[in-house]
C-alpha cells in the first residue's frame, strides 16, 4: 500500500503547485528579470534583425604599463552580460567604471592596476543573417584614473 498524505498535506501541495505556477505564468507575460525567480525565461528571446546589426560588448582596460587589455570576466568579478545589463548606468555615469578597476585591484593585486576602463560595443552588420565586413567598435563609456 502506498503511503497516503493527509487531506491537509494534499491541499497544501496542490495549493503551492497552483500558486507557484500562477506566479510563473504571470512573470512570463508581464514580469521582468527583477522578479527572479518568477521572471520571464527571456534568454535568447528577442528577435535579432537579419538585416540589422549584431552587438557584442566587451570591457577594455589600459593598465599602468600602458598595455591595452580585453578584460576577462574573472579579472573583475563582473561577467560580460552583467556589464551589458548595467550598461545604461555606465553610460550615464562613467565614473562608476572606477569601481570595476577597484574590483580588479582586489581580485588581482599582483597585476598592474587599470588606469583606464572602457566599455566597447562592437557592431557587426548583417545582411540576410550573414555577417558583412568587420565589426565596428564604439566606446560607449570610459573612465580614466585622475
Partner 1 sequence: MTWLLSPLPTARIAWLRILAYAFVPVDLLLNRWMFAHAQVPGELYAPLRIGRAFALPTPGAWVTWFGWALIAGSLTCLALARRERVPAWAGFGVALGWLWWQVIAFSYGKVDHDRLGFLVLLLVLPTVGRASRRDVGASEAAGWAVRATALAVVATYTLSGLAKLRFGGLGWIDGATIVQAVIRRGTPLATPLLDHPWTLTAFQPVLLAVELFVAPLLLVRWRRPGVLTGLVVGFLLFHVMTFSMLSIIFLPHCVALLALLPFERLPFRGHQVRARMAA
Contact residues: partner 1, CB under 8 A: 1-5, 9-10, 13-14, 17, 20-21, 24-25, 28-29, 33-37, 39-50, 52, 54-56, 73-74, 76-79, 81-86, 89, 96, 99-100, 102-103, 106-107, 124, 126, 128-131
Closest separation in Å from C-beta 24 to partner 1: 6
Q: How far apart are the first and last CA of the chain?
A: 75
DSSP output for 36-103: TTSS---TT-SPPPTTSEEEEEEEEEEETT--EEEPPHHHHT--HHHHHHTHHHHHH-GGGHHHHHHH
Cβ proximity of 15 and 5 under 8 Å = no
| Residue closer to partner 1, measured from CB, 66 or 109 | 109
| Residue closer to partner 1, measured from CB, 66 or 135 | 135
| Residue closer to partner 1, measured from CB, 23 or 66 | 23
Amino acid at each position: 500500500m502506498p503511503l497516503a498524505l493527509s487531506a491537509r498535506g494534499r491541499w497544501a501541495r496542490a495549493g503551492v503547485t497552483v500558486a507557484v505556477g500562477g506566479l510563473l505564468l504571470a512573470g512570463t507575460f508581464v514580469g521582468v528579470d527583477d522578479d527572479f525567480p518568477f521572471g520571464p525565461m527571456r534568454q535568447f528571446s528577442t528577435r535579432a534583425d537579419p538585416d540589422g546589426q549584431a552587438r557584442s560588448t566587451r570591457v577594455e582596460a589600459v593598465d599602468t604599463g600602458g598595455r591595452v587589455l580585453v578584460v576577462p570576466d574573472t579579472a573583475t568579478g563582473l561577467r560580460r552580460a552583467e556589464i551589458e545589463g548595467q550598461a545604461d548606468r555606465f553610460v550615464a555615469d562613467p565614473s562608476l567604471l572606477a569601481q570595476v578597476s577597484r574590483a580588479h585591484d582586489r581580485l588581482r593585486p599582483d597585476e598592474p592596476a587599470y588606469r583606464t576602463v572602457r566599455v566597447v560595443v562592437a557592431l557587426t552588420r548583417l545582411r540576410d543573417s550573414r555577417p558583412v565586413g568587420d565589426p565596428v567598435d564604439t566606446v560607449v563609456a570610459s573612465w580614466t584614473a585622475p
